[in-house]
Structure 1
Amino acid sequence: MIDYDTLKNWVFPPIEHRYTADDSMRYALALGLGDDPMDPLQLQFVNDTNPGLPLALPTMAVVLGFPGSWMQDPATGIDFTKIVHGEEEITLHALLPAAGAVRAEHRVVSIVDKGEGRGATVTYDKALYDAATGQLLATVRHTTFARGNGGFSASDGKTDSAPPAPPKPPTGTPDQVLEIRTLPQQALLYRLCADRNPLHSDPATAQAAGFARPILHGLCTYGIAGRTLLTAWGGGRPETLKTLFARFSSPVMPGETLRFEMYRGAAAGEVAFRTIAVERGVTVLDCGRAVLAS
């Protein structure tokens, strides 16, 4: 059972993460870049033979300074066997270097009891700094849906207020549509970037969790969304992506085709989107929104 005060004041040690240009290229390859080896907009992230390259994809901020499976600690009170990734949001404050060292500082910002039998949400932030200069590079907000922890506030009433529901994208004709076919081995590639959960690599583990086979990491799907938005709205330039939010609504099976339906927002640079697994007709990312600079 979650104890609100214990979890809200959870202490994370600062994490210093050193990474190389090879790590940046590995991350890009794990998102499927290079599927057109003649496309210079893709090659700038996966080829280091030209001066100034590779560049780092902005969504790599989600794997830098990864805190590990901290919710598995029994002291959190979280039923780790029943957690799923709910939402992810990044805000980019500066261009990520393709190699260097970063310092990650984490803190729990919200714990919401949705009621007995309805689960709870746990939201924590990561501030990512350049370890050498102290410059803030990115802020990452991660929300986990703890399906087995509803009702934790029944005894003392301690819970945070639920945030407003994120707006859904429009349902009319999209302004842009792009489709990207994921690789059958994509989860095996992406796990090399951070998350080694066997749900994404071991058939027996996936089947025990109710899936026919290992599923793709939600953050891989999220990274593919970032890649798609850069292509469609940012001219492939990583510095254009300023914010990216998405809600995870269904897992992706490696090898499926992802259809990104994107809509121009009311303000300059705003884009709303959803992502559909074409073969099943299932929405896998919903309530997507991004801001890209011109």
Structure 2
Amino acid sequence: MPIDAAEALAAGPRTGEISWTPRDVLLYHLGIGAGLPATDPAELRYTLETRLHVLPSFATVAGGGPPGVIGGLSMPGVDVDLARVLHGGQSLTVHRPLPVAGAATATSRIAAVYDKGTAAVLVMRTEVADGDGPLWAGDAEIFVRGEGGWGGDRGPSARTAAPAGEPDRTVERTVREDQALLYRLSGDYNPLHADPEFARRAGFDRPILQGLCTYGMTLKAVVDTLLDGDVTRVRSWSTRFAGVVYPGEPLRVRMWRRDGGALVAVSAVERDDAPVLTGTVAFDAPVRETAPPVC
């Protein structure tokens, strides 16, 4: 069996040093669509080094990308074809605001292996700390098609119930044609997002957008819409990738306020609102009431 659950879970953690600069933060923000309009003061806090605030989802690429999907495939007990791999979900807990430049230690391990019958799910956990203590922790759920069926623990259900009622806020964001190419410069060089031939081998008619790019775009939309751009209020952001996103298509981001945060659903507008992301963002204080925007 290409995945040996016992070996993967028994393997010791991997520890490495990571660092980042304001240039890395700026590049990441551009990679998730920041900077439109280029002179908008609300966008300059993402794109101008003298005003720079770090969106918490930057943690998923800091230092060139602490081990996530690709890192999980190189762990002991894991030997699978990259073309069968998808990013199934991502969670992030932020212990304090991310600095615009920093150096830290990242410790990663396989925290769980689930048998979904027709697929396996690996949970790659990464914890990051600097000299002042813990910075953030994240779980990447790695979905490997065709590698289940050994009778292991099925794990939690991947289904998330749709929120009831109309959303409190709705915005639309268009994915640029070159968004995946720009985002990959932050460290995700999976050819699925750039090489048409590889994408076809993986079962897609063309390259798809990185799930973590959608993850970051969505968090930015929530912060800008509900939190007046205050990135320091985000405590955590967890999501499941419910479908693919193609570069060039518009996305609809719907938000339902909840105590201490919001439920979020993202869909592909031109594909009959096909779901692409569901999740929850937690804040450090209740979302303040504002009039809904005209989108």
Normalised by the length of structure 2, the TM-score is: 0.89
Aligned residue number for residue 119 of structure 2: 119
Aligned residue number for residue 26 of structure 2: 25
Q: How does 1:217-228 map to 2 (within 5 A)?
A: 217-228=210-221
Say how many residue pairs are matched: 279
Q: How does 1:63-142 map to 2 (within 5 A)?
A: 63-64=61-62, 65-67=65-67, 69-73=70-74, 75-80=76-81, 81-115=83-117, 118-130=118-130, 133-142=131-140
Tell which deviates more after alignment, 32-41 or 73-82. Answer: 73-82
Q: In structure 2, how many angstroms separate the alpha carbons of the residues matched to 1:278 and 1:23?
A: 31
- Change in Cα spacing, 1:67 to 1:221, as seen in structure 2 (3 Å) is same
Q: In structure 2, how many angstroms separate the alpha carbons of the residues matched to 1:262 and 1:74?
A: 37
Q: How does 1:271-286 map to 2 (within 5 A)?
A: 271-281=262-272, 282-286=274-278
- 1:212 is aligned, of 201, 205, 211, to 205
2:275 partner letter: T
Aligned residue number for residue 37 of structure 1: 38
- 1:190 is aligned, of 166, 180, 183, to 183
Aligned residue number for residue 54 of structure 1: 52
User: 1:52-73 deviations in whole A, cap 9, x for unaligned?
Assistant: x322111011112522723444
Q: Conserved in 1, the CA contact under 8 Å of 2:11 and 2:76?
A: no
1:172 aligns with 2:170: no
List alignment gaps of at least 5 residues for structure 2: 286-295
- Change in Cα spacing, 1:41 to 1:10, as seen in structure 2 (3 Å) is farther
Q: In structure 2, how many angstroms separate the alpha carbons of the residues matched to 1:234 and 1:9?
A: 42
Q: How far did 1:135 drift?
A: 1.5
Normalised by the length of structure 1, the TM-score is: 0.89
- 2:230 is aligned, of 231, 237, 241, to 237
Instruction: State, as a whole percentage, how many aligned pairs show the same letter.
Output: 35
Q: In structure 2, how many angstroms separate the alpha carbons of the residues matched to 1:246 and 1:16?
A: 27
2:129 partner letter: Y
Task: Return structure 1 stretches of 4+ with deviation > 3 angstroms.
Answer: 70-75, 164-167
- Change in Cα spacing, 1:22 to 1:41, as seen in structure 2 (3 Å) is same
Q: Conserved in 1, the CA contact under 8 Å of 2:84 and 2:202?
A: no
Aligned residue number for residue 288 of structure 2: none
3-state DSSP class of the match of 1:24?
Answer: helix
- 2:250 is aligned, of 228, 233, 257, to 257
Q: In structure 2, how many angstroms separate the alpha carbons of the residues matched to 1:293 and 1:239?
A: 9
Q: In structure 2, how many angstroms separate the alpha carbons of the residues matched to 1:270 and 1:27?
A: 24
Q: How far did 1:32 drift?
A: 0.6
